[in-house]
A and B are shown apart, each in its own frame.
Chain A
Amino acid sequence: AQTVTQSQPEMSVQEAETVTLSCTYDTSESDYYLFWYKQPPSRQMILVIRQEAYKQQNATENRFSVNFQKAAKSFSLKISDSQLGDAAMYFCAYRITGGGNKLTFGTGTQLKVEL
């Protein structure tokens, strides 16, 4: 069974600084997708960034980038120039290609942004 582990229950970052959230996963599949979702206090799940496992290049979306290490099964999220609006729960998620598109979520990391 696939598992996703987020070892940091909480993280804090100063406004305008950079923070990295860690995520590791366990799978025997070679073709899959990885996601980072953000859940602010409103509880609305928002897609932050997506990475296809077959792509070696790390995905980036504006201030958000990932460090995807396939051999190590690691998928960390870097948030640059942190803003107050980045404060939220961040979930790492995994999905194999096909397979009913079921997402497996990690336990989440609560990110606090301080002035």
Chain B
Amino acid sequence: GAVVSQHPSRVICKSGTSVKIECRSLDFQATTMFWYRQFPKQSLMLMATSNEGSKATYEQGVEKDKFLINHASLTLSTLTVTSAHPEDSSFYICSARPLAGNQETQYFGPGTRLLVL
């Protein structure tokens, strides 16, 4: 149980284009989903907290107009990197907090590797 998927797993795009990453909780409903960014050999940095049906809360220094987050249902959150540039190349990981059951733990997706050329 508590499986979180991400799609796509890898994406290569041209500079200036937008990329959408999906995060789905497959066997549970999630009130809250989190989006992280991880550079090589570094820790996870929280970008934003996404609550179903409301606006996402962004961490300091994260541009909300560049990283658009939508949490339209209790099982799906999307992160759109708008007008991507090479410096946006990174590993993006989502996690989800269950609506019921073990609410104290976040379950992580497998991550999406983004490469912007």
Q: How many residues of B contact A (CB 8 A)?
A: 20
Mark each residue of chain A from 38 to 49: 1 if its CB lies under 8 Å from any CB of chain B, else 0: 000011111100
- Please determine whether B32 and A101 come into contact, CB atoms closer than 8 angstroms: yes
Contact A45-B43, Cβ < 8 Å, known A100-B57, A103-B34: no
Taking a contact as CB atoms under 8 Å apart, the answer to whether A43 and B104 are in contact is: no
How many angstroms from the CA of A27 to the CA of B82 in the assembled complex?
Answer: 36
Q: Are A101 and B43 in contact (CB under 8 A)?
A: no
Q: Mark A94-110, 1 if CB is under 8 A from B, else 0.
A: 00000011110111100
Establish whether residues A50 and B105, one from each chain, have CB atoms under 8 Å apart when the complex forms.
Answer: yes
Asked, given contacts A100-B32, A100-B49, whether A42 binds B110 with beta carbons under 8 Å apart, the answer is yes
Expressed in whole angstroms, the minimum distance between the Cβ of B60 and any Cβ of chain A is: 11
Contacts of A100 in B (CB 8 A): 32, 49, 57
CA distance A50 to B105 in the complex (A): 8
Query: For the complex, would chain B's binding face be called helix, strand, loop or mixed by DSSP majority?
Result: strand
User: Are B44 and A105 touching (Cβ within 8 A)?
Assistant: yes
Q: Is the CB of B110 within 8 A of A43?
A: yes
Count of A-B residue pairs with CB < 8 Å? 47
Are B43 and A106 in contact (CB-based, < 8 A)? yes
In the assembled complex, the CB of B100 is this many whole angstroms from the nearest CB of chain A, namely 14
**Closest residue to B31 on the A side, CB-wise?**
A101
Known A-B contacts A42-B110, A44-B110, A45-B108; A105 and B43 likewise in contact (beta carbons under 8 Å): yes
Instruction: Give Cα distance in the complex from A105 to B43, angstroms.
Output: 7
CA distance A107 to B108 in the complex (A): 18
Asked whether any CB of chain B lies closer than 8 Å to the CB of A64, the reply is no
Give residues in A with beta carbon < 8 Å to B: 33, 35, 37, 42-47, 50, 52, 91, 100-103, 105-108
9 inter-chain pairs at a CB distance below 8 angstroms, sorted by A residue, are: A35-B105, A44-B110, A46-B108, A101-B32, A103-B46, A103-B95, A103-B106, A105-B44, A107-B42
B interface residue numbers (CB < 8 A to A): 32, 34, 38, 42-44, 46, 49, 57, 91, 93, 95, 97, 104-108, 110-111
Nearest 9 A/B pairs, CB to CB? A45-B108, A105-B43, A43-B111, A44-B110, A107-B43, A105-B44, A101-B97, A108-B43, A100-B49
